[in-house]
Amino acid sequence: MVINKICCIGAGYVGGPTCSVIALKCPKIRVTVVDKSTERIAQWNSEKLPIYEPGLDDVVKECRGRNLFFSTDIETAIKEADLIFISVNTPTKTFGNGKGRAADLKYVESAARMIADMATGDKIVVEKSTVPVRAAESILNILRANKKPGVSYQILSNPEFLAEGTAIDDLINADRVLIGGEDSPEGQAAIEKLCWVYEHWISRRNIITTNTWSSELSKLAANAFLAQRISSINSLSAVCEATGADISEVARAVGLDSRIGPKFLQASVGFGGSCFQKDILNLVYICECLNLPEVAAYWQQVIDMNEYQKSRFSAKVIESLFNTVTDKKITILGFAFKKNTGDTRESPAIHVSTTLLDEGAKLHIYDPKVEPSQILEDLTHPSVTEEPEKVKKSIEIHSDAYTATKGTHAIVLCTEWDEFVTLDYQRIYNGMMKPAYIFDGRKILDHEALMKIGFQVQTIGAGRLSYGRSWLHPSLATLLLQCNKVH
């Protein structure tokens, strides 16, 4: 039972870290990660890797050139490999049938066609990319229809559960590894071979084997459940803001129920990232295609609530700044979709920034890890503006939080970077226009301390804060007053 050589097609956020950890833990396996982008491969072979991920640099340094290789020679890597991971991206379709919801499988299909063209001998093809249920069947159809003599294929589904920012730890200490395959002796043999790879560092008890379709659906289900928790807590944050309850206290009380658990109950400006929205839209589309409209509507609501949360937060900023932000200078602290990554895909900061720019604000943006070119690309993309030149003139990107806040009217915190907690807020306050506002979209700052300094503070899931007393929504205050009169 040996796999000597592994090839991974797609050197992105999933393929790169996953294969680096496989190379680290399986020194006898030669792992080659290939990509059609020469630029990306050059970056993987350089001192500055194309993605920021804590711990990744060390793993790559240890393995690169030993048993880990990054290459654009896709053909040789496919020919030599016993096992091939497909880790290309699967974005939401932007046109045609299922536009805006279905997963676009063109890259997965092209990877399958490349394998069919180039492969010799027996290959195990593993879908790592998140795909719609029964996508493995399509891959298999392509491979078997183009099969050359002497070549045989087994398709496995092995979805990745790593989260960006903690990818290396998630891979090394995975809660579970999921492998789905065909219910035939050949399918089971292929599953065993992939199990053997993971067993170099994951206990067999934590490796779950299922049929292919269960495995594909489990990945969509896991992301849908995680996103659903965030939308649930965010929906209640709106109730808190209207009543004076505090969402952190509610989350703590609810999370202490061991059946519910404390994780993923952090109310926020909304979830972002490359997976949640895309995978839930995909699930919704699948349900509609299966004629399950009630199920589709149920999951769609998780996305709708997230849109509502992002809009609600942006509206709160504008409303608090006297209903106009035209020509006001506003600092955006954090642009990545979460801390410890430079990734901005579906980042709520894009939504908030775009709304403020539409209202005529001048933005001063700072993020510790996102490249300025990426921020510019995100805010001038045709999907968010028709006036890219105007946007360029309205944003300034800074290399630290102090220059980004100098002379601005308000700070809008969009990403929960640790360094934002320990900034010298007295110094920041001194340099800002007055009244100075802070909108904490992640609930990470010490609001009492900020109010003591003199800041006007607003956050998610708490009534308007004022030093020393809590604030009641006017409609609730009136209601309470009426009740008191009756009694």
Q: Which of 20, 32, 43, 89 binds ligand UDX (CB under 6 A)?
A: 89
Q: Which of 102, 275, 284, 370 binds ligand UDX (CB under 6 A)?
A: 275
At residue 249, the 3 state secondary structure works out as helix
d(CA 4, CA 32): 11
- Evaluate the omega torsion of the peptide bond into residue 474 and state whether it is cis, within 30 degrees of 0: no
Helix orientation angle between 348-358 and 293-320, rounded to the nearest 10 degrees: 50
When CB distances to ligand UDX are compared, the closest residue is 12
Among the listed residues 439, 94, 119, the one whose alpha carbon sits nearest the alpha carbon of residue 281: 94
Tokens of 218: 């489990």
Among the listed residues 158, 72, 71, 86, the one whose alpha carbon sits nearest the alpha carbon of residue 116: 86
Tokens of 346: 């579906």
Tell me if 43 contacts ligand UDX by CB under 6 A: no
Tell me if 44 contacts ligand UDX by CB under 6 A: no
Please name the residue that has the structure tokens 């908030």: 352
Angle at 234 between CA 218 and CA 297, to 5 degrees: 50
d(CA 176, CA 186): 23
Q: Which of 3, 6, 8, 11 binds ligand UDX (CB under 6 A)?
A: 11
Binding segment (CB under 6 A) for ligand UDX, from list 59-67, 180-188, 271-279, 405-413: 271-279
| Nearest residue (CB) to ligand UDX, 195 versus 221 | 221
Q: Which of 264, 298, 308, 429 binds ligand UDX (CB under 6 A)?
A: 264
- Evaluate the omega torsion of the peptide bond into residue 435 and state whether it is cis, within 30 degrees of 0: yes
Q: Which of 14, 197, 240, 321 binds ligand UDX (CB under 6 A)?
A: 14
Q: Which of 3, 8, 12, 246 binds ligand UDX (CB under 6 A)?
A: 12
Q: Kindly name the residue from 275, 287, 289, 414 that is annotated as catalytic.
A: 275
Binding segment (CB under 6 A) for ligand UDX, from list 81-89, 139-147, 202-210, 394-402: 81-89
Read off φ and ψ for residue 34, nearest 5 degrees: -115, 155
d(CA 269, CA 309): 6
Binding segment (CB under 6 A) for ligand UDX, from list 56-64, 135-143, 270-278, 318-326: 270-278
d(CA 91, CA 89): 6
Among the listed residues 136, 108, 132, the one whose alpha carbon sits nearest the alpha carbon of residue 124: 136
Compute the CA torsion angle 375, 381, 386, 387 (nearest 10 deg). Answer: 30
List the interface residues with ligand UDX, window 301-340 (CB under 6 A).
337-338
Tell me if 265 contacts ligand UDX by CB under 6 A: yes
At position 483, the amino acid (one-letter code) is C
Please name the residue that has the structure tokens 């970077």: 417
At residue 14, the 3 state secondary structure works out as coil
Least distance (Å) between residue 12 CB and ligand UDX: 2
Read off φ and ψ for residue 354, nearest 5 degrees: -65, -40
Q: Which of 223, 237, 306, 353 binds ligand UDX (CB under 6 A)?
A: 223
Tell me if 21 contacts ligand UDX by CB under 6 A: no
Binding segment (CB under 6 A) for ligand UDX, from list 106-114, 194-202, 327-335, 452-460: 106-114
Least distance (Å) between residue 211 CB and ligand UDX: 20
At position 111, the amino acid (one-letter code) is A
Binding segment (CB under 6 A) for ligand UDX, from list 83-91, 185-193, 300-308, 469-477: 83-91
Tell me if 420 contacts ligand UDX by CB under 6 A: no
List the interface residues with ligand UDX, window 117-146 (CB under 6 A).
128-130
275 assigned to active site: yes
| Nearest residue (CB) to ligand UDX, 78 versus 436 | 78
Least distance (Å) between residue 326 CB and ligand UDX: 29
Tell me if 78 contacts ligand UDX by CB under 6 A: no
Tokens of 22: 């496989």
Binding site for ligand UDX (CB under 6 A): 9-15, 35-37, 40, 87-90, 107, 110-111, 128-130, 160-164, 223, 226, 230, 264-266, 268, 271-276, 337-338
Report, as residue numbers or ranges, the catalytic residues.
275
